[in-house]
A and B are shown apart, each in its own frame.
Chain A
Amino acid sequence: MHTTSRLVSWSCIATVAALAIAGEVLIAAAMRQIGDLDDIRAKSGLPGAIRTVLTNPTFIIGGTCMALNFFAMLFTLSLVDLSLAAPGIASFNYVGNAIAARLFLHENVDRRRWFAVLFVAAGVYLLAR
């Protein structure tokens, strides 16, 4: 672990965070396309709601990104210390999610939400290190 260069370590961390951001934004986009799951469950029951989610192409791509994120995380933890990887990935993840939500999901990320994102990133960093 001590022989891993900073460039390799931060490249691994950035890759894991990028896959997590892509997965979460795609899953959020899929849930927007599908609509309120409570309404769907009321109409079609739980099996109908599960079928609606699992047959959505955006959800499938997002889920694939999350699966790749899991294996990239395992690979990263074999090279990088957990004390660096966990807070680093979490912090990148929250800030990256907010930027991606603004750009791709067109969410209204106002000043309060930006403060919340920065506080979450810093808070998770302090708790995880």
Chain B
Amino acid sequence: MKHRLAPSQYAVLLAVVLTASFGDALLSRGMAQVGPADIHHLGLLLHALANPNIIVGIFLLIGFFACYMTALSWADLTFVMPATAFGNVVIALISRFMLHEHLTLSRWFGILLLTSAVGFVANTPARTDLSNPAPGTEDPGVAI
């Protein structure tokens, strides 16, 4: 059971958060520039591949998937999940402070909940395995 992560592993988790949120934001901005696509205008999707925002967004999302799989190779899914969800907070903060959009009270509360969730998980072991626990570290968890 791994209790502490190396700085490089924290960097991978940070990359998961940043690449997902900035990748999605760039794809969204690119598709807004390209215009709405539908089944009758599929050629527009090929045209979208020439948009710089979409190109960079796709590269960032490929980077996200690589970092996400790397994280899953040494951490639990339930440990990595809050990190991926924290990308929503980054997007909300980008929209508030860089795009000057209005955030409702419920969205601020959502940010608070997600930040708390990351705090809950941050101090737990990155990798647990009930079928093969390390000596002296058995924890029954909560049955479902």
Contacts and interface: CB of A to CB of B under 8 A. Distances in A.
Q: Do A and B come together as binding partners?
A: yes
Given A112-B124, A126-B106, A97 B77 contact: yes
Nearest to A108: B128
A111 interface: yes
**Dominant secondary structure at the B interface:** helix
A99 B117 CA distance: 17
A112 B110 contact: no
Interface in B10-44: none
Interface string A108-129: 1111111111011011111111
Most chain A CB within 10 A, of B72, B79, B82, is at B72
Given A115-B120, A126-B106, A37 B69 contact: yes
B81 interface: yes
A29 B43 CA distance: 38
Contacts, number: 131
B110 A124 contact: yes
A49 to B, nearest CB: 9
B74 A107 contact: no
A105 interface: yes
B61 to A, nearest CB: 12
B58 to A, nearest CB: 14
A124 B130 CA distance: 28
B141 A119 contact: no
21 contacts: A25-B77, A28-B77, A32-B73, A34-B73, A38-B73, A98-B81, A101-B77, A107-B129, A108-B133, A112-B121, A113-B79, A113-B124, A116-B81, A116-B82, A119-B116, A120-B114, A122-B113, A124-B114, A126-B106, A126-B107, A129-B106
Interface of B: 8, 69-70, 72-74, 76-79, 81-82, 85, 88-89, 92, 106-107, 109-114, 116-118, 120-121, 123-125, 128-131, 133, 139, 141-142, 144
